Chain A
Amino acid sequence: MSADVVPGVVAVVLVSLATLAIGTWGLRISRTTSDFLVASRTVRPRLNASAIGGEYLSAASFLGVAGLLLTFGAEMLWYPVGWTAGYLVLLVLVAAPLRRSGAYTLPDFAEARLGSRGVRKLCSVLVVMIGWLYLLPQFQGAGVTLRATIDAPPWVGSLVVAVVVLASVSPGGMRSITFVQAFQYWLKLTALLIPVCVLLAIWVSDGAADPVATAPRSWSIPLADPGGGIGLYTTYSLIVATFLGTMGLPHVVVRFYTNPDGRAARRTTLAVLGLLGIFYVIPPVYGALGRIYAPALADGRSDVLVLELPSLMVGGPLGATLTGLVTAGAFAAFLSTSSGLTIAVAGVLSQDVTGRRWGSHRLGGVAAFRVAAVIAVVVPLLMSVPAQDVAVARTVGLAFAVTASTFAPLLMLGIWWRGLTPAGAVAGLLVGGLGSGVAVAWTLATSSSSGWAAALLSQPAAWSVPASLLTMVVVSRLTRASVPAHAGRFMVRLHTPEAVELERG
C-alpha cells in the first residue's frame, strides 16, 4: 500500500503548493478592495474564460460524469451537455445585460433593478443556501478522492480542500484567484487528456473491444430510467434544470462583473462554451473504457472510475504517473470550484452580514470579507462530515434545479420585462425556492424509490421553473402600480452598448 499512495500524495501536495504560489503571486498585484472583489473589472476575455472554465468544472464534471456514464450510460450525457448548453442560454439571455447592470452579486442586481431591500435580503439568503448546497459535494468528492488514492479517512480530503481554499482566497481575493482558476482549467484538461490518450492507445492495441457489447440495452438510449413517460419527464426536467440553472449560479455570476464591458462579457461566454466543449468530450471516453476494463466499479463506486482506471489498465511507473496526474486534476477541480463558491458566498455575507455594524464595532471591507470567507467554508465542511454518500454529480444537479427555479426567472424577467415588481419577484422566488428546496431536501433525506411522485420530487425543475415564472408574472401584473419608477432608465443601462453616451441612472 505504501508505494501506491506516493503518486496521490505527490499530486495533492503539488497542486496545493501551485495554487498557493499563484495565489501569492496574484496577491502582489491585488491592492485595492476593487481588485479584491472584482479584479478591478479588467480581466481580458481569454483569461477570464479560462478562469470561468476552471471554476465551473467541478468535482461533478471531473469525477462524477464519467462514473455516472459508466453506470447508467447515455442518459447521463445530458449532464455535461446541459452544463455546456447552460452557457449558451446564459450568453443569449443575460451575459451582456448582467455585466452592464454594474452590480457585483445577484442580490446587488436584484436591489438595483427592483429598488427593494426585501428582495435583496431574500436573494442573499438564497445565494448562501445554494452556495452551501454546491460546496457540500465538492468537499465530499475531495474525501472520496483521498480515500481512493491514499486511503485517508474521508474528512481529511475535505479538510485539506477547505484549508487550501481559505489560504488562497483570503489574502488575494478575486484578482489572484483569477490566475489560480485559469491555471486550474488547463491543469484539469491536461490531467484528463494525457491519460486518455495513453488509455485509448492501449484499448486499440488490445483489439478495440466494443464497450456496448457488455452493457445493457438502455446504455445507448439517452433517456432516464425507467424509460416510458417517467423517463421522458425526468430527462426533460434535467434539461430544464441544467440549461437554465447555469445563469443563476452565484459563483458564475460574480465572474461576469470582472469583464471590462458587455461586449467582452459576451465574448468571454463564447470562449467558455468552446473550452467546456473541449473538456466534456473526454469524460465519456472514461465511461466507455470503464465498461470494458472496470465493469465492477459500476455498482456503487463509480465516482472513483477516473482515478482508478489508469492503474487498472496500465501497470508499473506509467500507471502510477497517470494516477498522480488524474488525482492532481481532481484536486484542482475541488479547489477551483470551492474557491469560486467561497468568494461568491463570502461576497454576499461580507456585504450583508459581517460588513455591518455589530454593536459599536465595524469591520473594514477586506477584513469583513475574510471573516465571511471563514464562515462560508466552515458551515458546509461541518455538513459534509455526517452527510452520506450521494453521487457527486447528482447533488450538484439538485443545486442546478434550485437556481433554475429561483434566480433564472428573476434574471430573465428582470432583464427583458419592464413590468417586474418587487412583490412579483419575492413571490416567484418563494414559490420556486420552496418548491425545489423541499424536493431537494426530500431527495437527499430518503433513499431511492420509484414512481411518478419520486420522479417529480427528484427532478423538480420541469414544474418548479414554470411555477416560479408564472408567479412572478401574475403577481407583478396584480401589483402593477409598484413597478419601479427607474425601470425604464435601468433597461437603457442594461441593453445599450457602452459606446453610446446615455444617462444610465
Chain B
Amino acid sequence: MSEQPPPRVRVTGPPRRRADVVRSPGTREIDAETALGEVFMRSLLREQLLLAVRVLVALTLTLGLLPLVFHLWPGLGEVEVGPLPLAWLLLGVLTYPWLVLLGWAYVRRAEGHERDFADLVGSADEEPG
C-alpha cells in the first residue's frame, strides 16, 4: 500500500461501433443535423413532452384539486367512509394505486414512442428484449 503504484497504462479494445456497418438513412440525417434530422428529433421531443404534460395534468386535476375542494366545501371533512374520514381514505390509501397507475401508463406510452422513433429512423440494432 505504501509504495508508489505503477504508472497507469491505458488498455484499449477494438472500437465498439463497427466502421463498415451500413447506417440507416434516418440516423445519418440526425447525425448530420440536417433539416430532416431536426424534424425527427423535434417530433420525438414533442411527443414525449406532450405525454409528460398529459400525465402531469391528470395528476393536477385529481390530487392537485383536493386542497381547493376541501377549502370550498369544508363540510367534506365530516364525511366518513366506513371507519375512515374521507380525506384520510383519499390521501392515505387511494392516492398510491392512482400514482402507480399513472406511472405505468406513462412508461408504456413512452417506450412505445421510442419504438416508433427507432422504426422511423431505422434502427441499426435489434431492440433489446
Query: A residues bordering B, Cβ < 8 Å?
Result: 74, 77-78, 81, 84-85, 87-89, 91-93, 96, 208, 210, 212, 217-223, 227, 231-232, 235-236, 239, 263, 266-267, 269-270, 273-274, 276-278, 280-281, 284, 288, 364, 416, 488-489, 491-492, 495-497, 499-503
Query: B residues bordering A, Cβ < 8 Å?
Result: 5, 17, 21, 23, 27, 30-31, 33, 38, 41, 44-45, 48-49, 51-52, 55-56, 59, 63-64, 66-68, 70-71, 74, 76-78, 80, 83, 85-88, 90-93, 95-97, 99-100, 102-104, 106-107, 110-111, 114-115, 117-118, 121, 123-128
In the complex, chain B residues whose CB is within 8 Å of the CB of A220: 77-78, 85-88
Cα-based distance from A235 to B21 in the complex (angstroms):
57
In the complex, chain B residues whose CB is within 8 Å of the CB of A222: 66-67, 70, 87, 90-91
* Given A74-B88, A232-B71, A492-B30, also A501-B41 (CB < 8 A): no
Question: Do the beta carbons of A93 and B100 come within 8 Å of each other?
Answer: no
Return the chain A residue nearest B68 by Cβ: A232
* Given A91-B107, A231-B71, A495-B48, also A284-B88 (CB < 8 A): yes
The 8 Å CB contact of B107, one of A81, A266, A488, is: A266
Question: Do the beta carbons of A91 and B71 come within 8 Å of each other?
Answer: no
The 8 Å CB contact of A239, one of B67, B90, B93, B114, is: B67
In the complex, chain B residues whose CB is within 8 Å of the CB of A492: 30, 41
Question: Do the beta carbons of A236 and B103 come within 8 Å of each other?
Answer: no
Question: Do the beta carbons of B83 and A208 come within 8 Å of each other?
Answer: yes
In the complex, chain A residues whose CB is within 8 Å of the CB of B123: 499-501
* Given A280-B96, A499-B123, also A212-B85 (CB < 8 A): yes
In the complex, chain A residues whose CB is within 8 Å of the CB of B111: 263, 266
Question: Do the beta carbons of A270 and B107 come within 8 Å of each other?
Answer: yes
The 8 Å CB contact of B91, one of A78, A263, A489, A495, is: A78
Sorted nearest first, the 8 A-B pairs with minimum C-beta distance are A277-B96, A220-B85, A77-B91, A221-B77, A92-B52, A74-B87, A497-B114, A501-B124
Question: Do the beta carbons of A495 and B27 come within 8 Å of each other?
Answer: no
* Given A210-B83, A288-B88, also A273-B68 (CB < 8 A): no
Question: Do the beta carbons of A273 and B86 come within 8 Å of each other?
Answer: no
Return the chain B residue nearest A89 by Cβ: B56
Cα-based distance from A136 to B19 in the complex (angstroms):
53
Question: Do the beta carbons of B110 and A501 come within 8 Å of each other?
Answer: no
What is the minimal beta-carbon distance from A44 to any residue of chain B, in angstroms?
Answer: 13
Question: Do the beta carbons of B41 and A495 come within 8 Å of each other?
Answer: yes
Question: Do the beta carbons of B91 and A81 come within 8 Å of each other?
Answer: yes
